[in-house]
Amino acid sequence: MSRIGNKPIPVLDGVKVSVSGRKVQVEGPKGKLELEHRREISVKVDGEKKQVVVSRGDDERQSRALHGLTRALLNNMIFGVKNGYEEKLEIIGVGYQAALKGKALNLRVGLANELVRPIPTGLTVTCPDATHIVIQGCDKQLVGQFAAELRSLRKPEPYKGKGVRYQGEQIKLKPGKAATK
């Protein structure tokens, strides 16, 4: 019994959902997303109730897993094209900073060279100041993946906490060798 998969997805105002074969297209004010679901799952749009219903054909283990997954992906798509997703990163460290140059993000994070990362299409990246990065977009997976890639360039180190971190992320600092005496 799938608790998540059986819940119908409400279609928000201003969002248009269309199903053709195995492709589901979601269009809204923030953008347009597309998903091709697996054969074991079927997706139907109920226009009267303004909801999307996800169902599965059998009770195989793989089908049960994909049922909830497909419903969650469609829900994220509908929310994303209406409201969008946002990740905020902060850069901690002396001389560490970020800057936008065209369609690329330049990071100076204590390495010999400046790190240049191209911004994926579909994302909006802004730098309100030199130590903060804001990533916005309608695709939850793309926003989270790009934020994780930027963080992995210089993870916060455990002694001083220097590096790229999510805003509000708590880093547990180690005391260092002076604490042993």
> Which residues are CB-contacts of 120 (< 8 A; sequence separation ≥ 6)?
142, 146
pLDDT in tens, 61-119: 999 899 999 999 999 999 999 999 999 999 999 999 999 999 999 999 999 999 999 99
């997976």: which residue's tokens? Answer: 141
177 belongs to a structural domain:
no
Which tokens go with 59? Answer: 């009770």
Residue 9's DSSP bridge partners are 52
Which tokens go with 165? Answer: 């971190």
Rounded distance between C-alpha atoms, residue 72 and residue 51, angstroms: 14
Query: Quick one: pLDDT at residue 1?
Result: 59
Rounded distance between C-alpha atoms, residue 75 and residue 40, angstroms: 18
| Nearest in space to 93 (alpha carbons), one of 146, 154, 147, 153 | 154
Phi, psi dihedrals of residue 36, rounded to the nearest 5°: -110, 110
Domain match, 89 and 78 both: no
- Amino acid identity, residue 173? L
32 belongs to a structural domain:
yes
As for how many domains the chain has, the answer is: 2
29 belongs to a structural domain:
yes
Question: Considering the chain, what percentage of its residues have pLDDT values greater than 70?
Answer: 98
pLDDT in tens, 108-156: 999 999 999 999 999 999 999 999 999 999 999 999 999 999 999 999 9
Mean pLDDT on 40-52 = 90
55 belongs to a structural domain:
yes
* Domain carrying residue 64: 9-82
State the pTM of this model: 0.90
171 belongs to a structural domain:
no
Cβ atoms within 10 Å, residue 6: 14
Are residues 173 and 158 in contact, defined by beta-carbon separation less than 8 angstroms? Answer: yes
Pick the last residue of a domain from 34, 57, 82: 82
Domain match, 148 and 94 both: yes
142 belongs to a structural domain:
yes
Cβ atoms within 10 Å, residue 79: 19
